[in-house]
Amino acid sequence: MTEVIWGTTIQYKEVKKTIQQFLSSPKYHLLLENSNETHFIDIYLPDVLEFDKNLYKCTIEYPTQILHLYDLVVSEMGYEEVEVRVFGLSQVKRIRGLSPSDIERLVSVRGMVTRVGNIIPSMKSGYFKCTECNYNVDLVVDVRGTLTVPAKCPHCKKTGTLQLIHTLSYYIDKQIIRLQESPEAIPAGETPQTLHLLAFDSLVDSAKPGDRIEVTGVYRADPVKIGVSQRTVRAVFRSYIDVIHIKKYSKETEVDIDFTTLVNDDWYERLTRSVAPSITEMDDVKKGLLCQLFGGSAKTLQDNQKLRGDINILMLGDPGTSKSQLLTFMHKVAPRGMYTSGRGSSAVGLTAFVGKSEEGGTVLESGALVMSDKGLCCIDEFDKMTEMTRSVLHEAMEQQTISVAKSGIVCSLNARTAILASANPKESRYNPKLSVLDNIQMPPSLLSRFDLIYLILDQPNPERDRKLARHIISLYWGHEIITDALDISTFSSFVRYARKRCKPVLTDEARTELVKGYLEMRKIGSENKTHKTISATTRQLESLIRISEALAKMQLREKVNARDVKEAIRLVTSAIHQAATDPETGIVDYDLIQTTKGYREQSVIEES
């Protein structure tokens, strides 16, 4: 008679033999031999389907029992400490697509991590001792995660005498993760749905807030008791996923392209044309945004002081100049990041706030800046932010950390993100007779932290207006503009490829060109005999280094040459000098950005 596991259609001996044959294949035999350090082995489910369809079906329908058999077979093969993890389901569901028919089945979902709880101990086996007869009993937690303690001692039959011995019990790490639907996967007009994940042992701390992950696990539902001491439960169950495997993914699918064969002399211009192809002209702005996507190289000095490699950009200008469209495109292409609006953002929403955890107590939930770590944070309507909200950006933009001291939690969170902000002047339209600070109500200490400040103005020009009108009409008419621009998937894949593989360093000629360019930028202010203004600071020098590294990175080069430095100087000069030009004298005066008054106004105050 064939032995069948109770409640399933699994034929114990046959399925166990099939698993033994599958794990004895050359691929997985080699993985088992190399699993001594990691203590786990990942099994790709399409391999199981190709080997035996019945084993694949049982793995999907009865994952708890089948995974126990996998672990048993691996242990019998001599790998007692190795844990089996499966992944690669053909159907990846949305969180809102999970239904009661999926309960106790193997599922795979995608989403964005919004909160990671504290690591807590989870009991696997409990060691109990009778206080009357000293009888010992070792109880194992079942597959549902519950431990049933006998009411009476098995030896002396007395009630309530079994006491848990914590030091002899076995525990593993447990962590609760909250998964939210990715912004790009939320249907129009819907609010994002969330799901709790339970990660154990080696999966603890494998994801952090802001990560987009694909989770494979067992979908479970637990009844909620009306009271702690009552046996009555509610009709609505609480659902969660027992995690088996976590894999990070990007917003766009990976494109299998050898990018080294594509890079040529025209590659920089082609990438520029690929930035928001539906928006014409604005080439210098697009080149600055392109440098922001690739970023420079972060560095740590001998005294552990860190220099940021991310590039911050502010776009300031008239309404209807495609600022928001540029932000939207950048958010789509960036491998990781958040999109927020200044009017709808709060200080804690950008940084972090304290919430209640499921186990009781408090837990720190990350805001947009922390969730954009090693990515891009786009802030639209930057001028609509309150002063309190804007003040939290000072530390994030320079030190790239968020310091928190709330509800007894004192810590410093990483916010290694590039910030792309767009703002409108306070009078809606930019007034060229006023300085940048007079046009936008922003503290100079914050404005000076932007590497590039672009003034995007709507100035009448018959030829340009005619060209723009024809372009917009062609978009509405449905005529596609044929260009050699990269599609979003390829573009995003190349950005990830370059950021991961290229860490350019300065050559001797690049260093010489940087010093020369910086001195020339400083000379612009000193050449003026009547008003010796500041035309560049050390922050501009650091910006030049970051932009030069980004230009080399997008060419997949490991070294920064003099050509990169010259282009960086041109981009910084055209952007910053436009914003730092005194509207009355026409002189470049960086005090207009760093302080509330330029050199001319300060001189009048000193003379008076």
Asked whether residue 67 falls in the same domain as residue 191, the answer is no
Q: Identify the pLDDT of residue 1.
A: 43
| Tens digits of residue pLDDT in 435-465 | 777 777 777 788 888 889 898 888 777 888 8
Q: Identify the pLDDT of residue 606.
A: 44
Asked whether residue 357 falls in the same domain as residue 431, the answer is yes
Q: Among the three residues 248, 278, 297, which one is the final residue of a domain in this structure?
A: 248
Domain coverage including residue 234: 95-248
Best CA proximity match to 504, nearest among 446, 546, 444: 546
| Tens digits of residue pLDDT in 133-161 | 888 888 888 766 677 788 888 888 888 88
Bridge partners (DSSP) listed for residue 380: 341
Backbone angles phi, psi at 135, to 5 degrees: -75, 140
| Residue 591 near residue 534, CB atoms below 8 Å | yes
CA–CA separation, 466 and 456 (whole Å) = 18
Q: Identify the pLDDT of residue 354.
A: 77
Asked whether residue 536 falls in the same domain as residue 573, the answer is yes
Non-local (6+) Cβ contacts of 539 within 8 A are 448, 449, 451
Kindly state whether residue 275 falls inside one of the protein's structural domains: yes
Best CA proximity match to 576, nearest among 593, 561, 562: 593
The number of domains in the chain is: 3
Find the CATH number of the domain harbouring 226.
2.40.50.140
Best CA proximity match to 116, nearest among 173, 172, 171: 173
Q: Identify the pLDDT of residue 62.
A: 93
**What stretches in the chain show pLDDT beneath 70?**
1-2, 143-145, 225-233, 235, 251-256, 358-361, 478-482, 524-536, 577, 579-608
Q: Among the three residues 35, 64, 87, which one is the final residue of a domain in this structure?
A: 87
Find the CATH number of the domain harbouring 345.
3.40.50.300
Asked whether residue 71 falls in the same domain as residue 130, the answer is no
Kindly state whether residue 2 falls inside one of the protein's structural domains: no
